[in-house]
Amino acid sequence: MKTFAALLVGAGKMGRAWAQTLGDCDRVRTVGWVDNRPGAAAEAIENLKLSAVTAYDDLGQALAQQRPDFVLNVTSPDAHVAVTLAALKAGAAVLSEKPMADSLTRARKLIAAGEKAGKLLMVSQSRRYHAGAVAFRQLIRDHLGGLGILNSDFFLGAHFDGFRNEMENVLLLDMASHNFDSARFFSGQEPISVYCEQFNPSWSWYKGADSAVAIFEMTGGLRYTYRGSWCADGLPTSWESQWRAHGPRGAATWDGETAPIAARVTGDKDLIRDCQKITATPPDLPFGGIAGSLREFLDALETGRRPQGECHDNIKSLAMVFAAVESAQTGKRVKVRG
């Protein structure tokens, strides 16, 4: 297997998590770490006791000196576009944290830049690499006979430090993108339109809207509903959310932590039909979470196979986010334009 030279950009909490993931991968050699805050990358390298990794405060200098095979973009969302464009222009593939960009127009600009450079641009949708999520999707496919209703609930009291406290539309832009992408992953359907409301409860500690409800019309007649809040202390859901799916042959649920469960209709009489309970056995995935994203990205670089999260597909999940924001701002149902 080929070894790839990586340049990591962003030395925040997620940047450090990615640094460890890169270090655990025998197919990657991290050659540099960039953060525009003077000394931040050097401090992270020292704290993590990394060797043979050069610290930079300037991305252009790092790209010119290291000429990496790929750039891992773990910057704040408002910096994603500039970093990705610079990397593609320098001839490097890009694996980016979500969202791909801070608008659909700029996301399309990135896609065009990737096409021009002939380089892979992939967004890490790490929830797709959760064994429970894979098992939940399989339950839906094997036992529900199609899908007409899909619901997700996400409720956590997330007391962040940093950029999230100041973001507009913080829940939709920074977290709901995971749920919206998962809805596509579980259902195999694509978004058509959305009606969304977002708001802040009276006790919110966020500047931007941290709570939202949304109803998506999807292809195949599916309705996907989302309810979420990032200022909901007490009785938290999983970070993966709680999910419920219904089709003509039964239902399936997943709490984001334990094994998913299905109930397949077996009876044809009585007011409430008899069902058979089925508990899924989550697969033994070799790599989960961001490690799963990384491995699929590396496989794509080596084989040319299109990975999950590839930009032409991921923009459909991003379009759900911005359509929800537009609906919340206008008070109208909005078409999803991916």
E strands, the chain, are 4-9, 28-34, 54-56, 70-73, 93-97, 121-124, 149-155, 191-199, 211-218, 223-229, 242-247, 250-254, 261-265, 275-279, 334-335
| pLDDT at residue 78 in the model | 87
* 250 residue type, one letter: G
Does residue 57 contact residue 36 with C-beta atoms inside 8 Å? yes
Amino acid at residue number 259: A
pLDDT of residue 162: 79
For position 271, what pLDDT does the model report? 85
Dump pLDDT digits (tens) for 188-199: 999 999 999 999
pLDDT tens digits for 151-178?
A: 999 999 999 887 888 888 899 988 999 9
Q: Give pLDDT, residue 77.
A: 85
Specify the pLDDT at position 106.
Answer: 96
User: Given the structure tokens 């050699």, which residue do they identify?
Assistant: 29
User: What pTM was estimated for this model as a whole?
Assistant: 0.93
| Residue 275: per-residue pLDDT | 85
List, for the chain, all residue ranges whose pLDDT scores fall below the cut of 50: none
What pLDDT score was predicted for residue 274? 86
> What is the predicted pLDDT for the residue at 41?
97
Residue 148 backbone class (left: φ over 0; alpha: ψ -120 to 50; beta: rest): alpha
Which residue segments constitute the domains of the chain, with CATH numbers given? 4-124 (3.40.50.720), 128-284+319-335 (3.30.360.10)
